[in-house]
Structure 1
Amino acid sequence: MPFKVLKNIALLSGAALALSGAAAADPDDNKLIIDGEEIATDAAAPEGSPFDRLYSGWRFRTSETQDLQADDFENPGFAAITLGEELWDTVEGSEGKSCASCHGDVSEGMKGVRANMPKWSEAAGKPQTLENHINTCRTDRMGADAWKWESEEMLAMTALVGLQSRGMPTSVQTDGPMQEWWEKGKDLYYTRVGQLDMACANCHEANFGKMIRADHLSQGQINGFPVYRLKWGGLGSIHRRFKGCMENVRAEPFKRGSDEFIALELYVASRGEGLSVETPSVRN
């Protein structure tokens, strides 16, 4: 049998064994308290959810990783917050404006914004992520260049904006013009892809809590993005995580900002309805 075929069989068998043989671990009972405020890391599952209860990925992490997120001085994601604050007040583009020119103080102007993303845009005729909204402001209102999806500037700004919603419950629109996109995202979530023939649901629904690659699988909630992953050594977007998951199952990933990933982001966000925004969260 050709080596490539043997290798693919080994990959398929290894993935199946890793999940089927792994011991499950319940989420811990620790409380995430930051500056005296408790952040909801569990919530009642919304109607139609496949879960009995929702749990943030924070509840599946090691105590050392949890401690990093619980202290803003220790949270490595806060280096990006400092940059984001500088960018917020920086005048750029042909219109001579900064973010603050239109939105004022970030703590007031951006409060609650992250909790409702993605959000329908009449102008675009489709849902827009936080990254989309930021670049629309830059190009249409400031006359500045758009930032790349995973650029240092974009991650800093999404982290800063997200921080203003920390502690607020996530809630996205799924009816009206969003319904078609939500259904598309749901279909993507349950579609098996790649050499390993796996869907998002195979890990984050059927096997959450099990150990794989020296880490516990979570429910795949996205309420903490952009997230500082110790593995990455920096912040990363939701779409970077989606791309990484697809690559892990040996599938051809969609592009960051693609309609497919926007639809998937909407659906996954709806699965976490009621969990608090944790931005910037820390994960293994």
Structure 2
Amino acid sequence: MRLAWLAVALVLAACSQDTPAEEPRSTLDADEVVSGYQFLQADTQALQDDDFANPGFLWVDQGEALFSNAPPQSKACSACHGEEGSELIGVAAHYPAMDEKTGSLVNLEGRINLCRTRHQGLAPLDYESEQLLSLTAYVAHLSHGDPIKVDISGGVSDWYERGEDYFFTKRGQYNLACNQCHNDNWGKQLRGDTISQGHGTAFPGYRLEWQTFGSLQRRLRDCDAGVRAEPLAYGSDDYLAVELYLAKRAEGLPIEVPGVRR
């Protein structure tokens, strides 16, 4: 595995080693932005498309139960947001977003935890916990098929720029940046797979490599580990900024949660 990753690093580094640092950053043209779904094998696409076979619906169903049932000495999410989440349809397509009270950027997981602490008198849930994954999956699925559209005006622009910087910064022992795979080499074959554009439209989702459900930040941590960089902590400001940058970069693509990926 280590030798295989080294070969990957050498190939990608060779693709970009002659690019002067002062050249403009490579971007995706609006008419070429496509979901990672397009790069999956047909059987994986079929798994995502089948609401009965898609394993991610186990988490969506658990999230629906958590959303509808009141915790002890508290109220249910549905008490504020409507039966079957009627008040939240389409909302996930606009996250990450600024929290007005704190002036900080929050993703969907962060918003759920803020609702718990502010309105339910409950403790926040840990990243990758079954409860938070399930609630996030359910709320995101309420926006299934809605096009992503995030606001990067005002103070949010600083977060966007921070996420963009992270995307284009080389890191790790392999000295690779996100853009070298997902902007410069998407569509090419790598170790039997096709490199995608790196959009987060399917997350939280089920990843075959994990054999379980996980958040977008778990996927980001995997990418950092893959280039032999130290993964950041869940919920870190840098990863929140990257989530915002990726959402803006994928603008117009539909939310696929629960997606299935390799």
TM-score of the pair, normalised by structure 2? 0.90
1:212, distance to aligned residue in structure 2 (A): 2.1
**Consecutive aligned runs of 4 or more in structure 1 exceeding 4 Å deviation:** 8-14, 18-21
Distance 2:9 2:225 in 1: 13
| Pair 1:220-2:198 in alignment | yes
Q: Which moved more, 1:8-17 or 1:138-147?
A: 8-17
1:172 corresponds, among 132, 143, 150, to 150
Report the secondary structure of 1:16's partner residue. helix
For structure 2, the 5+ residue unaligned runs are 16-25
Distance 2:13 2:134 in 1: 35
Distance 2:190 2:237 in 1: 30
Does the CA contact (< 8 Å) of 2:81 and 2:87 recur in 1? yes
1:151 corresponds, among 129, 135, 151, to 129
For structure 1, the 5+ residue unaligned runs are 1-7, 22-47
Report the secondary structure of 1:176's partner residue. coil
**1:121-270 paired onto structure 2 within 5 Å:** 121-270=99-248
Does the CA contact (< 8 Å) of 1:93 and 1:144 recur in 2? no
Does the CA contact (< 8 Å) of 1:81 and 1:156 recur in 2? yes
Report the secondary structure of 2:105's partner residue. strand
1:57 corresponds to: 36
Q: Percent identity?
A: 41
1:216, distance to aligned residue in structure 2 (A): 1.3
| Pair 1:70-2:49 in alignment | yes
1:173, distance to aligned residue in structure 2 (A): 0.6
1:32 corresponds to: none
Q: Tell me the matched-pair count.
A: 251
1:102 corresponds, among 69, 76, 80, to 80
Distance 1:276 1:10 in 2: 33
Residues 239-274 of structure 1: per-residue CA shift (max 9 Å, x gap): 001100000000011111110000011001100000
Give the alignment's Cα RMSD to 1 decimal. 2.1
Does the CA contact (< 8 Å) of 1:93 and 1:142 recur in 2? no
2:10 corresponds, among 16, 25, 38, to 16
2:68 corresponds to: 89
| Structure 1 letter corresponding to 2:129 | S
